[in-house]
A and B are shown apart, each in its own frame.
Chain A
Amino acid sequence: MGLLYGLIAVGLALIFGLMDVTNFAHGEFLMIAMYLSFFLFAFFAIDPLLSAPLVAAGLFVFGAVVYLLLVRFAMRAKANAGMVQIFTTFGLAIVMRGLAQYFFTPDYRSIPQSWLGGKTISVAGIFLPEPQLVGALVSIAAFAGLYLFIHRTDFGRALEATREDPGAVALVGIDKNRVFAFGWGLGAALVGLAGAIMAVFFYIYPDVGASFALIAYVTVALGGFGSVFGAFAGGIIVGLVEAVTALVLPPSLKSVGIYAVYLLVVFIRPRGLFGSM
């Protein structure tokens, strides 16, 4: 479960953590991805596992378009940049929820049978549910990929440089909007991947994103802004803390443990565990 939070958080880590843009619609990106996965299954009988790359590609386009049409302008604000970003993306989140309600109805949907759904696998006598296991593997791969991508490629360096000083990168010929649009696309594609896998074992409804979004923010902040590895570590910690809390406290309080750990961490280290900002 922790790696799953990690998977949702990794896309956010890119947008929120590395580009320093607040995205309050991250949960809604997840929701769209889950619906996309659902409809691909319902109409074309494509298993979520196979459609995951399609969903990711779709979300990539969506993320890039959102950046070019909205976020680009929100970032231009000279005053209150933070609040403008918060409320622009928050407004977008509300619109997306409204659209989902309008077109998909507020009904709960689920993917009844898929290759992975409901199956378990036995590893050395421990039974693990397959979807979660695949989610965990994809999550590790996604983090590793993103880490290498940010630290080993020209694009990754361009991204960090753009955040640091958008004016200076323009001088060396980097188009800020192209870099950030690509970054947003990538962030959205990662959450698309998460959505496709989660569609297998979660109910899908217009508000589904809200319940995961806050935990994703906490995961990113816990790990520290500006650090891919931090978000990964944050995801694992969040998952472990949730599992432990669920043993000690009633299930409805399981998130309290996560929040408390976040507060404890930032109390001791105000920049998160591995944060550079």
Chain B
Amino acid sequence: MDKNFAARRRRDLIIAAVLAVIAALTPLFVKDVVVQNILILTLMYAGLSQSWNILSGYCGQISLGHALYFGLGAYTTELLFTKFGVLPWFGMLAGGVVSALIAMGLGYPFFRLRGHYFVIATIVIAEIGLLLFHNWEWAGAAMGITIPIRGDSWLKFQFARSKLPYFYFALLLACVAWFVTWWLEDSKWGYWWRAVKDNPDAAESLGVDVFNSKMGAAAVSAFLVAVGGSFYAQFVSYIDPESVMGFQFSLLMALPAVLGGIGTLWGPVLGAAILIPLTELTRFKFGGSGSGVDLIVYGTLIVLISLALPRGLMSLFSRPKKTGATR
């Protein structure tokens, strides 16, 4: 069993490396800007969903408020950049740290909630954040922040002419999120998290520090999502509260992991690879006219996939004897 597990982990790492190299080479063949755009978003959501999966999938604390951390990352970066001239790279780090601290600050009182009460609390907290930013004059309020164009440079992480640098950063983000998950899966934390998810009371009685496990998962998860938020802000170069902190982001982050397989290493990657191109293509094909057809198609897909594969697509790959959800 142990040997199998080690072998599987090595295999996962090799697959990931191969996929990363293939992904890194795609821009050589894909020159179309629209397609590149979709690839960037796919990688970004793969990274975000992987980060969400750490808290909600592995540790079992379902959060539908991760938009808060996404928005905090975006806002910290851009406020530091536009108001104090701090380079986005530092802003990105600062955003991550701020989000992780806030996640722990919120976890402190609210991690004792369970089930629906917890999920609703996460939604409500993100909504409070959204409303506060909406009314915060200094941070641009509802108008948001337009990031000034200062010419292409890696230093300022700003590129108007080519999307490639964004592509590589999104790839890096997805890889880092994947690697962190891979690494944590076999660490003390990873085992604690799964124990907390399956049965917090039993875990506690066996000496698992339930509270600190949740705090750790929340901090890692929030940090990575915030970095994604910073990236997104630089990528679209305009942010307002709705566009980075809206409830839809919380769902969009959760969706790939859920469809791919919640609490699995590959679920978020697989989910994002299928879902995001589909979303963008339906929007591209049917959207824009405001007729709602894109929503109908998209919604139907979500319903069908969640009904057909409650454990996510990853369950197709696991042998029948194993339970896909806990691998």
A residues apposed to B, CB below 8 Å: 16, 22, 70, 73-74, 77-84, 86-88, 90-102, 106, 206, 214, 217-218, 221, 225, 250, 252-253, 255-256, 259-260, 262-263, 266-267, 270-272, 277
Determine which of B120, B254, B262 lies in contact with A262 in the assembled complex, contact meaning CB atoms within 8 Å. Answer: B120
Contact A97 B300, beta carbon cutoff 8 Å:
no
**A259-B127, A266-B117 are known contacts. Are A78 and B295 too (CB-CB below 8 A)?**
no
Determine which of A22, A98, A99, A262 lies in contact with B294 in the assembled complex, contact meaning CB atoms within 8 Å. Answer: A98
B residues apposed to A, CB below 8 Å: 62, 64, 109-110, 112-117, 119-121, 123-125, 127-128, 131-132, 134-135, 247, 251, 254-255, 258-259, 262, 290-304, 306-307, 310-312, 323-325
Please, which residue of chain B has its CB at the minimum distance from the CB of A206? B292
| Assembled-state Cα–Cα distance A67/B12 (Å) | 40
- Determine how close the nearest CB of chain A comes to the CB of B271; give it in whole angstroms: 11
- Determine how close the nearest CB of chain A comes to the CB of B311; give it in whole angstroms: 5
Q: A16-B116, A91-B300, A225-B117 are in contact. List 15 more A-B contacts (CB 8 A).
A: A74-B307, A79-B324, A80-B325, A83-B62, A84-B307, A87-B258, A87-B306, A90-B302, A95-B299, A101-B290, A214-B123, A262-B124, A266-B121, A267-B110, A270-B117
Determine which of A70, A97, A98, A221 lies in contact with B120 in the assembled complex, contact meaning CB atoms within 8 Å. Answer: A221
Contact B298 A94, beta carbon cutoff 8 Å:
yes
Contact B114 A102, beta carbon cutoff 8 Å:
no
Determine which of B113, B294, B299 lies in contact with A270 in the assembled complex, contact meaning CB atoms within 8 Å. Answer: B113
Contact B132 A256, beta carbon cutoff 8 Å:
yes
Contact A74 B306, beta carbon cutoff 8 Å:
yes
| Assembled-state Cα–Cα distance A221/B109 (Å) | 17
Contact A100 B292, beta carbon cutoff 8 Å:
yes
Determine which of B121, B134, B293, B307 lies in contact with A263 in the assembled complex, contact meaning CB atoms within 8 Å. Answer: B121
Secondary structure at chain B's binding surface: helix, strand, loop or mixed? Answer: helix
Please, which residue of chain B has its CB at the minimum distance from the CB of A16? B116
| Assembled-state Cα–Cα distance A262/B121 (Å) | 8
Contact A91 B302, beta carbon cutoff 8 Å:
yes
Closest 6 CB pairs of A and B: A101-B292, A98-B295, A94-B299, A91-B302, A95-B299, A77-B310
| Assembled-state Cα–Cα distance A127/B127 (Å) | 33
Contact B295 A94, beta carbon cutoff 8 Å:
yes
| Assembled-state Cα–Cα distance A262/B122 (Å) | 11
| Assembled-state Cα–Cα distance A175/B195 (Å) | 36
| Assembled-state Cα–Cα distance A11/B293 (Å) | 29
Number of A-B contacts (CB under 8 A): 142
Contact B124 A101, beta carbon cutoff 8 Å:
no
Contact A70 B262, beta carbon cutoff 8 Å:
no
Contact B293 A98, beta carbon cutoff 8 Å:
yes
Contact A218 B120, beta carbon cutoff 8 Å:
yes
The residues of A that contact B115 with a CB separation of less than 8 Å are 82, 277
Jot down 6 A-B pairs with beta carbons below 8 A, ordered by A.
Answer: A70-B307, A74-B306, A80-B312, A102-B293, A259-B127, A267-B109
- Determine how close the nearest CB of chain A comes to the CB of B73; give it in whole angstroms: 22
| Assembled-state Cα–Cα distance A92/B295 (Å) | 10
- Determine how close the nearest CB of chain A comes to the CB of B131; give it in whole angstroms: 5
Determine which of A74, A80, A252 lies in contact with B262 in the assembled complex, contact meaning CB atoms within 8 Å. Answer: A80
Please, which residue of chain B has its CB at the minimum distance from the CB of A71? B307
- Determine how close the nearest CB of chain A comes to the CB of B315; give it in whole angstroms: 8
Max count, chain B CB within 10 A of own CB: residue among A90, A91, A217, A262: A91
**A95-B300, A225-B116 are known contacts. Are A263 and B125 too (CB-CB below 8 A)?**
yes
Contact B292 A270, beta carbon cutoff 8 Å:
no
The residues of A that contact B128 with a CB separation of less than 8 Å are 256, 259-260
Contact A91 B110, beta carbon cutoff 8 Å:
no
- Determine how close the nearest CB of chain B comes to the CB of A34; give it in whole angstroms: 17
The residues of A that contact B310 with a CB separation of less than 8 Å are 77-81, 84
The residues of B that contact A252 with a CB separation of less than 8 Å are 131, 134-135
Contact A255 B131, beta carbon cutoff 8 Å:
yes
The residues of A that contact B295 with a CB separation of less than 8 Å are 94-95, 97-98, 101
| Assembled-state Cα–Cα distance A162/B64 (Å) | 28
The residues of A that contact B123 with a CB separation of less than 8 Å are 214, 217
The residues of A that contact B116 with a CB separation of less than 8 Å are 16, 22, 221, 225
Contact B307 A79, beta carbon cutoff 8 Å:
no
| Assembled-state Cα–Cα distance A79/B318 (Å) | 14
**A83-B262, A271-B117 are known contacts. Are A255 and B127 too (CB-CB below 8 A)?**
yes
- Determine how close the nearest CB of chain B comes to the CB of A118; give it in whole angstroms: 29
| Assembled-state Cα–Cα distance A26/B123 (Å) | 16
Contact B311 A80, beta carbon cutoff 8 Å:
yes
The residues of B that contact A86 with a CB separation of less than 8 Å are 64
**A100-B292, A225-B116, A256-B131 are known contacts. Are A94 and B302 too (CB-CB below 8 A)?**
yes
Contact B127 A253, beta carbon cutoff 8 Å:
no
Please, which residue of chain B has its CB at the minimum distance from the CB of A98? B295
Please, which residue of chain A has its CB at the minimum distance from the CB of B315? A79
Please, which residue of chain B has its CB at the minimum distance from the CB of A17? B116
The residues of A that contact B304 with a CB separation of less than 8 Å are 91
- Determine how close the nearest CB of chain B comes to the CB of A243; give it in whole angstroms: 17
- Determine how close the nearest CB of chain A comes to the CB of B194; give it in whole angstroms: 14
- Determine how close the nearest CB of chain B comes to the CB of A103; give it in whole angstroms: 8
